[in-house]
Each structure stands twice: as structure tokens, then as C-alpha cells.
Structure 1
Amino acid sequence: MITYFSMAGFLSVKDRAEVYFVPRPHTRITNTRFEDNFIQTSQYKLMKAVILFGINASGKTNFLAGLQHLISIINHGLNLGAVDDSRRSLINFDCNQVSFEIGLYDDRQDRDYVYKVTYNTERILGEELSLGGQVIYSFSNGQLHVADIKEIKDREAIMRLFSGNSTELYLIKLHDYVGDYIRDFRELAAAVRVNIKDVVPLLGRDNIRIINGKQKSFWEEQKDGVIKVFQMLDPTITSVGFEKWRTDMYEVVIYRGNRKYHFGMESKGLQKICHLMDSLLRNMVEGGVLAVDELDSSISTISLLELFNGLINTPQNKGQFLITSHNPFLMNQNIFHPQQLYVVNKKKDLSTEVYSFDDFDLRNDKNKLYEDYLKGRFGGIGE
């Protein structure tokens, strides 16, 4: 689970931009209409959804791209020694370095990790991994420091060996030396999935949805949930089925009564949800994090509200969702706490800033957030 994510110097995000998945201290959540919007753990009340609003080219997708990039380098490394022009172009034009921070919480083991990294096109400038406030290792000014804890053997030798300039993350270099900490942290990061590519323009009338045997078993286990999601978009759907396509591959079909329908003839919204279904349900059942760019494209406002009211903001949901949206009707304090709603704004210098609706005095605006947003009170609609 994510507690917070921040970035600076990446694509259009020049100055630090951050999103929190935990409410501010002393925020009352229990016994309010927002209680089901949060996952209660021993340490945190974790938001089940955070929504980013902004006009086209404001930087919403870039923010998700930053999260995707950070998760990728945590899982696979950075290797600055092989940086090409396309990767150099990820650095903001007005910056010479990139910084990321992420907090990941393991609710099963009650472990709270924070990871920070700063780098330029040539080397790692700084890096740190901490657990519960205890720094496991840190690197800055060419010096590596490793915590003096019993699980870490040969600490002094490790620091001598790895101090100096580095073109690769210490998260990767120290994987075999720093006990189980890095492994556990990377397992948490692997549960964060980012879906930026919009499949809708790629879908045609000849499109069919193919899944493998493992996915089929999961869909069958969650069949009631699959049907429920489809019915949020089209209440005439009564069932879902699977037809063998080739070895260990199956076509997903839907039923309206006794009639079978292939997805190639369905609406773009249904096709989109069908392609997202596996990630959507796994996230809810297994407790991961799913970021989706413009979930609302090709999906009606009524269906979108139902997805949040009847699926995401429910006690059964164990996962978190980070969503970008153009739909102002989601700016609803009867559905979301203001701290779950963020504005992504493009400034005059073409950089992106991100801030919460809760930064504004909303006491008298319960039912007209979207009206004031469209009037420009909260920014995010261009300057």
C-alpha cells in the first residue's frame, strides 16, 4: 500500500509534487460517511482512491508516468551508464536531476518503508531506505552508510566496497547484503501497477478478449464480482463465459439471457473495463495498488459513479486506486473526502503542480465543488 508519493524534475513536474494516501493528522474518518473510503490498519487509515483532475496537457499522465518509472527502477534497476537520449529527455528541461520518494506500508507485517532517490544522467546523487523511521542504508556525497543492526553482516566491509560514484541504485547493489529489508520492500513495490496506455482507440469491431488459463481460473473464482462490474456499465448483462481459443487461451464472452455476445461488438466502455478487469479485481481482492490514466474515458458518468460507490468505496475492497479524470461530477464530497481529490495544474512556466482540494476552505461548498472548479476557483483549467 502507498502512504505517499512525490517527485521532482521528471517530465513536466519541475518542483516537488506529492500525493498522500493517508489523511492529515487529526482528520476524523471513523463514524463518518467516508469510513468505507479508507482501509483501517494498525498505523494508518489508507485511502482506497485518490483522484487527479486537470485539463489536457496539465501533467496528470506525467505524474502517473513518474510513479511507473520509479516502480520500474525499483524492480529492474536504473543503469545510468547506459542512459540514451530518450531517457535523458525524461528530466525536466529546467532541471539537472530527478528526485523520487515513496512510502510503502505492509499491512500484513505492520512494516512502514520509505524510499528516496535522486540522480542525474551520470550518477546516483542520493539514496535512502528506511523502515519504521530507522534508516537501513543511505548514500550521499559519495559515501554509503549502512545501519548497525544485527541482521546486516560485514557492515564496515560493505560500506568500503560500495562507497564512491555509482551509476546503479544501491537498492540493487545491496540486495544480497542487507538482509530481508530490500527484498520485502521490492515485493511491496511489485504490487503497484500503473496503466497509462489507453486501449480504447486500439479496439475495433473484430476485437475479442483473450485470457490465459490462470486468468480464467481467477475470473471464475470472482465470477460474481466480474458480472457485477459489467452490470455497472450495462445492467442487461446476465452472465459471463469462456470459450477455448487455443491451448491454454480462452475468449471472454458475455450473455444477455440465453444469447451470447463477443466483445468486438460491444461498446468501447465495456471493452475497456473487460481489458482492465483482471487488474481491477486482483487489486481489490489481493490488496495492491492500481493507477489508471483516464478511467472515465468511454465510461458514462452514472457508471463511473457506480464503480466508486458500489465497488471501490466498499468494505470488501482491499486495494488502492490512483485515477486521473476529466469528469467534474467526481468532485463530490458525498462520495470522497476532499483529501482524496487533487488538482493537477499547469503553471505559466509550463511546469506541473499538484495540490489537494482540502487546501481550500470548502465548508460552504459541499454540493458545488464542480461548479467552482469549472469557474477556475481551484485552478487546474489553464491560466
Structure 2
Amino acid sequence: MSAGDTARPTEGQTLLKGWREEPALLLSIFAANAIAYLPTLLLPWLIGALVEHQGYSASGAGLLASAQQACLAASAALTGLCIHRFERRLIILLGAAIGLLSTLVLLFGSPGLLVIALPLSGIGFGLCSAGGNALIATSRDPARLNARVWALMLPWQMIIWAAAPVLSARYGLDGLFGLQAAGMAAMMILLLCASSRAEGLQNYTPAQSLPTAKLRLPPGLVVLIIGCTAAFWLRDSTTWSLVERRAVMLDIDSAVLSVVLSVGTVIGLAGSAATIWLGLRFGRLRMVTLSQLLSAFVLLSIALVETPLLYCGAFLFWSASSVFAWNYIIEMSAALDSSGRMTAICGGLVFGAGALGPLLGGVALDSSAGTALPLLIGSLSAVAVTFACVLAYRLGNGMADTPERPI
């Protein structure tokens, strides 16, 4: 049997059946990611509040926010390298505790502590990201599990985005940090409740009892999964960073854009539903190819179209196509490395790409009156699609079990 056959659905698989499977695992991963993504979800309002209420320049506020994102990405990636040596739930709780304490310092401490506490909170959020994503590799069906996590993450994102502008406008930084602290506290309670049903959280083999060969990964496949993940999220973060600027260039009203983004987020649930329904029933290579081409088509359409109607129409399907494609990338990272290291590292790359994407997008949009943007998005899409398909082919032929030298 090939690696691509191990997670194929049984007869009678339904959209709702899987929610009753591995509930502790699902809720724990959701809680970890809900915490880890808080600074990214609050980022636009954080920068605005730093400028308006703390007297920072735009560049200074951006630098401080970038420092937090950089610490988050570095913490997630570095922890991912050794995540197999620790109990994932404890890593998540440690990260949540660091993040919450740092947030309380930001909320009640002096403004001068911002430059210390904000990057420190990023380290805590990174630990949550690494622990949560590593848990995905312990699942019997990583693609569907990740889809269910994102089905919960999208409403969470909408709640945060609805509350952030109101609290920021009324209370400034205190409102944002209060929202962040409340969100973290709620997710820590959920994590502790899920841990009381810990049968799903102990579903992995400790590193000490794994054969040495299982901890060694083929370098070529590691390059493929990291390259695919980096290109995928650089493309998405570049597009996201230019949402407002492109809308202004196309004379799209900000209220219309806000509605489009909200509706697109709701439609994003279709990406999770599609993964839950399809799984790997048509084989890994076919599903990866389909999802990657669909995502590339939507992102290229956003970069290329020059009319408001087509631009808004393409945006409606962005979230769904990206979630659909990302679920299968995560599935491949789990198939490649059952210890959870690669899922944790790939999860950390999301935040690293988020820090670099705005720079690439700004340069592309300012170059040659914006004609470089489609070329950039097309190039990143080509790398993501090619690397993902080659990796899916190699995994489907059992290449992931061939030990070479350790990473």
C-alpha cells in the first residue's frame, strides 16, 4: 500500500461524522492556533493604535509589530526542530502562559515596556503554533483534521475582526490588549477542558522510543515541503498586503471591500467542507494537484483583473481555495514526518512569510506601474504547484520511508 492510501475515507464518510472523532485533538489544535494567530489578526489595528495613542511613527510602529511577528515565526520554527522531544500540550500551555503574562504587562505596565513585552509575547505565540501544528501529525487523517480546525478558525477570525475596530477606537491599545488577553484566557480554558479527555493527545510515540531511521528525513523531500510552504504563503501574504492599495487603484469603496472580505471569509468554510468531504479518496497526487491549481488560478486572477467586479468576484473565492490547498500541504508534512516536526516548522513558515510578503508586494506594485505583480504571483504559484505535486508523487510512491542523512 502506498502512503497516499493510508488516509482514504471509509464508506459512509459524511461531513459531520468526523467531528465526533478525536475531539480532544481537534479542540486542542484549535485552541493553540486561535492563540497563535491573535497577533496577526490584530496587526492592522495594533499599528494604528501605536501611531495614534503612543506617538510612534508609522515606520516605528511597523518595526515593533514586525519584531513581534519575527519572534513568533522564529520561535515556532526553532521549537519545531525539537518538538518531538516534548509533550505537545505542555508546550502549548507554556506558550499560552508566556503570551498571557506578556499581554498583561502590555495592558497594565508602563508604555516603555512595549519594546520588551511585545516581542516576548511573540515567543509565546510561536510555542503555541509549534505545539498545535505538531499535534496534527498524530491524527489518523491529518487533512480532514486540519480542515475542521480551519472551520473553527474562520468564525474565530470574524469575531476578532468584529471586536478589534470597536475596542481600538474606544480604548486604544488597552482595548486591543484586553481583547487579546480575554481571547487567550478563553482558549486556555478550552485547552484544559480538552486535555481532560486526553486520549487523543497521547496518540503519538515519544521520540525516545522511535527508531533512529524514523527521525531521519530525506533532504530532498524536506526541501520540497519547505519550498512549497514558503512559496504558498509568500504568495498569499503578498496578495493580502495589497488588498487595500489595489482596491483604491480600481476605485472600490472601502465599505464594499469590507463586505467582500466578510462574505469571502464565510465562503472560506467551503474549503474546509471540500477537504472533509473528499479527503484523499481520489489519491494524494490528484487532490494536491487540483487544490494547488485552483488556488493558483484564484490568486492570479486577483493580481491580473483590472475591473472592480472581477476583482471582488475573485476575492470571494480566495479564502476557500487557500484553505483547501493548505489542508493538503499539511497532510503531506504529516505523512513525511510522523514526529510532528515538519507540521510545526511549516506552521511557523506561515508567520515568516507574513513578515516578508508586504515588502515583496510593495516592491512589485511600485515596479513598472504594477506589471511586476502578476509576474511575482505567477512565479510563486509555479514554485508552490510544482513542489507540491512532486512531493505528492514522491510520497505516493513510498519515498518518504527511505532514510537518508538526518536533518
The structure with the larger Rg is: 1
- Bigger relative CO (Cα 8 Å, ≥ 6 apart): 2
Please give the TM-score of this superposition, normalised by the length of structure 2: 0.26
More helix by share: 2
More strand by share: 1
